[in-house]
């Protein structure tokens, strides 16, 4: 059984310096898939990353790397719509600037029993 790796570990990069194992082996895919910080550019990209380099050539291996089977439902809104934050954003940022997907949060405006907002969980 193949050991699962994290997205950041596979696709880590610092600007144009490719560091993650899959990033180094699949240079073109890496730049299409991840932002300059190594986090994925969109949430949907985690559903399927098509490998383009050495990793895609190896026999008996899939040329697709999957990190999610589907975008999960937000239990607060019962939808697949999530609020997104970039790596550079503050923890309470409302606007996503599209650089990468570092964090997700509910779009619900609901408040919990302890008076904290669901979106801050």
Do 91 and 120 have their domain in common? yes
Residue bearing tokens 């310096």? 17
pLDDT computed for residue 56 by the predictor: 57
Do 58 and 76 have their domain in common? no
pLDDT computed for residue 1 by the predictor: 33
Q: How many CB atoms lie within 10 A of CB 106?
A: 19
- Residue whose C-alpha is closest to residue 49's, from 75, 31, 72, 36: 31
Do 17 and 55 have their domain in common? yes
pLDDT computed for residue 14 by the predictor: 84
> Across the chain, which distance is largest between two alpha carbons, in Å?
55
What averages of pLDDT result for each successive group of 10 residues across the chain (121 residues)? 64 86 85 87 89 61 82 93 90 83 91 89 80
| Count of domains observed in the chain | 2
pLDDT computed for residue 95 by the predictor: 83
């Amino acid at each position: 059984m193949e050991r699962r790796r994290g997205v950041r570990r596979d696709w880590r990069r610092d600007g144009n310096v490719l560091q993650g194992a899959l990033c180094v082996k699949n240079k073109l895919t890496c730049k299409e898939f991840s932002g300059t910080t190594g986090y994925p550019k969109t949430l949907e990209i985690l559903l399927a990353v098509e490998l383009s380099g050495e990793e895609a050539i190896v026999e008996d291996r899939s040329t697709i790397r999957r990190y999610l089977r589907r975008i999960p439902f937000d239990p607060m809104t019962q939808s697949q719509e999530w609020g997104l934050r970039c790596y550079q954003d503050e923890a309470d940022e409302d606007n996503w600037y599209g650089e990468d997907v570092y964090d997700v949060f509910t779009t619900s405006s609901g408040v919990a029993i302890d008076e904290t907002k669901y979106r801050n969980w």
